Structure 1
């Protein structure tokens, strides 16, 4: 079942933004490591971190009302 939320668009943007940031981070990190470019590797890792944070925020917002037994 899908829960309806008032801010569904915000959750969708966080999910898609997080996934795109993780994909871009993986690609940039791989290119940076391959060509031994420290700046590109750092940028890739930064994108990975931002993507992970966006996904965690999305999950936390979704589970805000539920309680663990």
Structure 2
């Protein structure tokens, strides 16, 4: 069963943005740890957190009760 939403583009942007932020965060964190750069590691962790928040918001929005 496919759910139809009026703001499908926003949900898609959150999903893709979240995945992109997680991938970028992983890369930056790995580079920061490898080269012992605290600022790069911090930015990577922040991107990881941002990506996780965007995906959680998308999941919560999808699982909300709809009035029948």
* TM-score bucket (shorter structure): over 0.9
- Equivalent residues in 2 for 1:18-57, closer than 5 Å: 18-57=18-57
Corresponding position of 2:63: 63
Structure 2 residue runs of 5 or longer lacking an equivalent are none
TM normalised by structure 1 equals 0.92
Corresponding position: 1:8 with 2:8: yes
CA displacement, residues 19-65 of structure 1 (integer Å, 9 cap, x when unaligned): 00000000000000000000000000000000000000000100111
Structure 1 residue runs of 5 or longer lacking an equivalent are none
TM normalised by structure 2 equals 0.94
Task: State the number of aligned residues.
Answer: 66
Q: Which runs of 4+ in 1 moved over 2 A?
A: none
